[in-house]
Amino acid sequence: MFQKVELRLSGSGGQGVILAAIIMADAAIEQGINAIQTQSYGPEARGGASKAEVIISKDEIKYPKVTNCDILLALTQSSYDKYIASLSKNGILVADESVNVNRDALYKIYRLPILDTAQNKIGTHMVSNIVSVGVLYALIGEDVISKDVMMRSVANRVPPVTVDKNMRAFEEGIKLIRNN
Amino acid sequence: MNCSENTQKYYRVNRLPHIWCPGCGHGTLLNAVVRAIDKENLNKDEVVIVSGIGCSSRAPGYLDFNTLHTTHGRALGFATGLKLANPKLHVIVIMGDGDSSAIGGNHLIHAARRNIDITAVVFNNDIYGMTGGQYSPTTPYGDFATTAPYGNIDRPFDLCSLAQGAGATYVGRGTAYHVPLMQKLIEKGIENKGFSFIEGLSICPTYYGRKNKKGSAFKMQSFLKDNCVDIKVAEKNSEKGKDKIIIGEFYNNPKPEYTEGYQVIIDKFQKQGRD
Amino acid sequence: MSNNHGYKLYQGNEACVEGALDAGMRFFAGYPITPSTEIAEISSQKLPKVGGKFIQMEDELSSMAAIIGGSLAGVKSMTATSGPGFSLMQENIGYASIAEVPCVVVDVQRGGPSTGMPTSPAQGDVMQAKWGTHGDHPAIALTPNSVQETYEYTIKAFNIAEKYRTPVILLMDETVGHMREKLKLKASSEIEVVDRKKPSCSPKEYVAYRPDEDMIPPMASFGEGYRYHVTGLTHDETGFPTNSNEISGKLIHRIVDKVEKNIDDISFFEEYKMEDAEIVIVAFGGTSRAVKSAVDEMREKNIKVGMFRPITIWPFLEKQISKVADKAKEIYVAEMNLGQYFIEVDRIAGKKCHVNKINKVTGELFTPKEITDAVTGGRL
């Protein structure tokens, strides 16, 4: 039975990991369970490290920050290097295939072509955050958030003219896990 | 200060006598403001007089309008809030030279830039009078003040050029001697739908005058009389304007006004509702 | 499309604007500063849609001046800033206090002093919220710890400002301002909105600063026909400056008393697992989220610990803290500064029990573990 999941999404500024985290939290709230999204960022609007966190829980969430990271998303090498130590040993690492990861670990590892899927299947790196949302959603599962609700949150939170591309990106993200 | 029948109704007579020194030019300049308001036939209930801190800032207290005596330099900030919140108000701001261009210099240029419909009148006596005669941003180079005991090495502002450069759409300079001109400039400033800046050269016999051996108030007024030349005269004959203080209407170029611009946004987006 | 439970995901800063609009805010003047900027941005977007006004001023000095002007024109007004801007606003916060102009000032705290840590949480403005402006004056500051509370206490901040004719500080922190969690907006029928007391007499009879029995003078707006004088100088009941020492003294007493003597009306706090608590942790804002979690963890180990959370930071909740100290063996004050609120707690509780500090100024929110370690000496 699902109780709680703590996610940390990391990448470089401009990759949209904060929006991805907001969408995850939004869907959970719409589903009627609890969620908190937080972030930390440097002075740069583009480049630099970017980190966002989401806690999704059936119970009230008191402490808003991730203390026991269940799932870590790392889209860049530097974000992997910076946050990998914080991943719980029973956790899941989702890294872009461009990231060199230490295979000698207890946590489960998914090395997936997230950036490549965005660029080459959808046609723009701009949607790599929504490919990531698809990946994370596939890992959390439909029993936590229904697919309808999840898709609505994606559609509501991306720029209106990009909805189609982002819906496709979302589906491609799910496939990356299903076909893995 | 004598109030004529016409203007007495604009004064809070029970607040008089005023605090200004004998010979000070401020009372004369204030009267020009009042006469201009009378001429423009403004509804007393819709007039707000705002001031900052200093000798000039005591002016609103003597006037029977909505009056707001604020903090040093910030009069235009308060005035901007009042005008934007209720554009029906006629907002007239009275400031001193230090008030408007030292501590309040940033607010002056930005109010001018926005072209918000405020009439700013500066009573410029070239000195900090309230605190006892320190040099201000308009004290002439080389003059003396209690904080310039060896002569002032700051270069003074030309307030009208400053306001015009910052975007004021009506700019003029009068003096405590050239009262009809002063009144006319304020009238036209009130009529201008936008930011109007009128500098009134005042005299401070108590501090600036004594520090700089300028003589009596009468002599200081005579100086204004003899050394000011209207811009129209100076433009026709540059010889006449040479080494003189130029007065008159410098700039009158209406531009879109701020609160009207904001109303356009409201009209366009209000129908969309809050969400 | 809306769900059926009514909750939506909101950011703390967003919730602040929603609360302000529900309370009747129709004027906002501000200057961009992290981590409060979203409040200005969302205000700029939403205010014209409800017929309100937004202006980005040239600095915080004039932002504060502009909202006082807006309020004098009869429009409920707010500004939002962070530490450096809050410092600049102090000048005219004092003006609003002495001239009794209702307004709301939001301070989303960040690390300081000076530019400090713009994107990081801190609670270093506790004392500034009370003593930032010179002279004796009333101070009211409310500190929410969640997005829902930010919404609700922004409404309360306006209501208190209107009722007592005084500036009210909403003292947020980066954690609460930037986090997103669920919020249920209230239907307008469920929202209590307080408006300033207006004069019931004619303009001729109006004495602008003559207080009623409740110590608060009715307030006319500029432009309504009551032509009165407002000044930052000490003044008599007419609103004009006075040279009388006695009248000046009476004025300062009244503006302080109108708040201090109504403290019960504005005392908000939460008690968490306090019934049998021997150890009490006092915490507020973002810090209290870590403390609440820590209290749960310690309770699981049978440690009798609870949390007292002041939501009203100023005026200081002397009565409640004194009561806490009567029962507690030990009190900890946890805050993201070096012990500002501690000074007040220790002043009252220190006579009755031992009061300890738990402090953090690294620009990060406390972790629950840091709290449990501090309380248990790392034994947990």
pLDDT, one tens digit per residue, over C159-172 is 999 999 999 999 99
- End-to-end alpha carbon distance in chain C: 47
- Cβ of A63 within 8 Å of Cβ of C292? The answer is yes
DSSP C124: T
Calpha distance C308→C263 (Å, rounded):
18
In chain C, the domains with their CATH numbers are 1-266 (3.40.50.970), 270-376 (3.40.50.920)
| The pLDDT value given to residue B275 | 82
B-C contacts at Cβ under 8 angstroms: 146
3-state secondary structure C128-176: HHHHCCCCCCCCCEECCCCHHHHHHHHHHHHHHHHHHCCEEEEEEEHHH
User: Angle at Cα C42 formed by Cα C39 and Cα C48, nearest 5°?
Assistant: 125
| The pLDDT value given to residue A180 | 84
- Cβ of B81 within 8 Å of Cβ of C49? The answer is no
Facing B68 at nearest CB: one of C57, C77, C230:
C230
Residue with tokens 């366009």: B268
Cα A68 → chain centroid:
16
Calpha distance C334→C370 (Å, rounded):
10
Backbone angles phi, psi at C247, to 5 degrees: -65, -40
- B-A interface (Cβ pairs under 8 Å ≥ 3): no
CA distance C69 to chain B (A): 4
Cα C293 → chain centroid:
24
| The pLDDT value given to residue C264 | 98
* Confidence bin at C289 (pLDDT 50/70/90): very high
Chain B positions touching C241 (Cβ under 8 A) are: 61
Give the DSSP H/E element, type plus range, for residue B34: helix B26-40
- Cβ of A64 within 8 Å of Cβ of C8? The answer is no
pLDDT, one tens digit per residue, over C170-186 is 999 999 999 999 999 99
- Cβ of C230 within 8 Å of Cβ of B65? The answer is no
Domain tally, chain A: 1
Residue of chain B with shortest Cα separation from C78: B81
| The pLDDT value given to residue C265 | 98
Chain C positions touching A36 (Cβ under 8 A) are: 179-181
Calpha distance C294→C288 (Å, rounded):
9
CA distance B268 to chain C (A): 9
* Confidence bin at C24 (pLDDT 50/70/90): very high
Exposure string (b/e) for B111-131, b if CB count within 10 Å is 16 or more? bbebbbbbbbbbbbbbbbbbe
Average pLDDT, chain A: 95
| The pLDDT value given to residue C2 | 66
Backbone angles phi, psi at C373, to 5 degrees: -60, -40
- Cβ of B68 within 8 Å of Cβ of C222? The answer is yes
| The pLDDT value given to residue B1 | 46
Calpha distance C19→C75 (Å, rounded):
16
pLDDT, one tens digit per residue, over A11-56 is 998 899 999 999 999 999 999 999 999 998 766 667 777 899 999 9
Interval A83-103 mean pLDDT:
96
Contact in structure between C306 and C327 (CB atoms under 8 Å): no
- Cβ of C92 within 8 Å of Cβ of B110? The answer is no
Calpha distance C170→A165 (Å, rounded):
41
DSSP C51: T
Q: Which chains touch C (3 or more CB pairs under 8 A)?
A: A, B
pLDDT of C242 strictly over 90: yes
Angle between helices A147-157 and A128-140 (to 10 degrees): 160
Cα A157 → chain centroid:
15
Find, among C370, C227, C375, the residue nearest to C301 by Cα: C375
| C-beta atoms surrounding B223 within 10 Å | 18
SS3 B219: helix
DSSP B148: B
pLDDT of A150 strictly over 80: yes
Contact in structure between C305 and C332 (CB atoms under 8 Å): no
Dmax over CA atoms of chain C, in Å, equals 72
Calpha distance B270→C49 (Å, rounded):
4
**CB-based contact (8 Å) between A34 and chain C?**
yes
- Cβ of C7 within 8 Å of Cβ of A63? The answer is no
C53-56/C27-30 β-pairing = parallel
Give the DSSP H/E element, type plus range, for residue B6: helix B5-8
Residue B264, judged by CB atoms within 10 A of its CB (0-12, 13-18, 19+), counts as exposed
Q: Which domain holds residue A20?
A: 4-178
SS3 B28: helix
Chain C positions touching B66 (Cβ under 8 A) are: 222-223, 227-228
- Cβ of B69 within 8 Å of Cβ of C75? The answer is no
Residues 6+ away with beta carbon under 8 Å from C362 = none
Cα C346 → chain centroid:
22
Calpha distance C256→C239 (Å, rounded):
17
**pTM of the full structure:** 0.97
Q: What is the DSSP string of chain A?
A: ---EEEEEEEEETTS-HHHHHHHHHHHHHHHTSEEEEEEEE-S-SSSSEEEEEEEEESS---S-S-SSEEEEEE-SHHHHHHHGGGEEEEEEEEEETTS------SSEEEEE-HHHIIIIIIS-GGGHHHHHHHHHHHHH-TTTS-HHHHHHHHHHHS-GGGHHHHHHHHHHHHHHHHT-
Backbone angles phi, psi at C225, to 5 degrees: 105, -10
- Cβ of A67 within 8 Å of Cβ of C368? The answer is yes
Task: Identify the CATH number of the domain in which residue A45 sits.
Answer: 3.40.920.10
Contact in structure between B195 and B115 (CB atoms under 8 Å): yes
- Cβ of C181 within 8 Å of Cβ of A30? The answer is no
- End-to-end alpha carbon distance in chain B: 56
**CB-based contact (8 Å) between A50 and chain C?**
no
pLDDT, one tens digit per residue, over C40-72 is 999 999 999 999 999 999 999 999 999 999 999
**CB-based contact (8 Å) between B127 and chain C?**
no
Residues 57-116 of B with CB under 8 A from C: 60-61, 64-71, 73-74, 76-86, 88-89, 106-107, 110
In the structure encoding, which two tokens stand for residue C162, read together? 């209107």
User: Angle at Cα C290 formed by Cα C285 and Cα C292, nearest 5°?
Assistant: 90
Exposure string (b/e) for A98-110, b if CB count within 10 Å is 16 or more? ebebeeeeebeeb
In the structure encoding, which two tokens stand for residue C38, read together? 């979203």
Interval C197-202 mean pLDDT:
98
Tens place of pLDDT per residue across chain B (275 aa): 455 667 899 999 999 999 999 999 999 999 999 999 999 999 999 999 999 999 999 999 999 999 999 999 999 999 999 999 999 999 999 999 999 999 999 999 999 999 999 999 999 999 999 999 999 999 999 999 999 999 999 999 999 999 999 999 999 999 999 999 999 999 999 999 999 999 999 999 999 999 999 999 999 999 999 999 999 999 999 999 999 999 999 999 999 999 999 999 999 999 988 88
Residue of chain C with shortest Cα separation from B273: C49
In the structure encoding, which two tokens stand for residue B171, read together? 């700019």
Chain A positions touching C369 (Cβ under 8 A) are: 67
| The pLDDT value given to residue C259 | 98
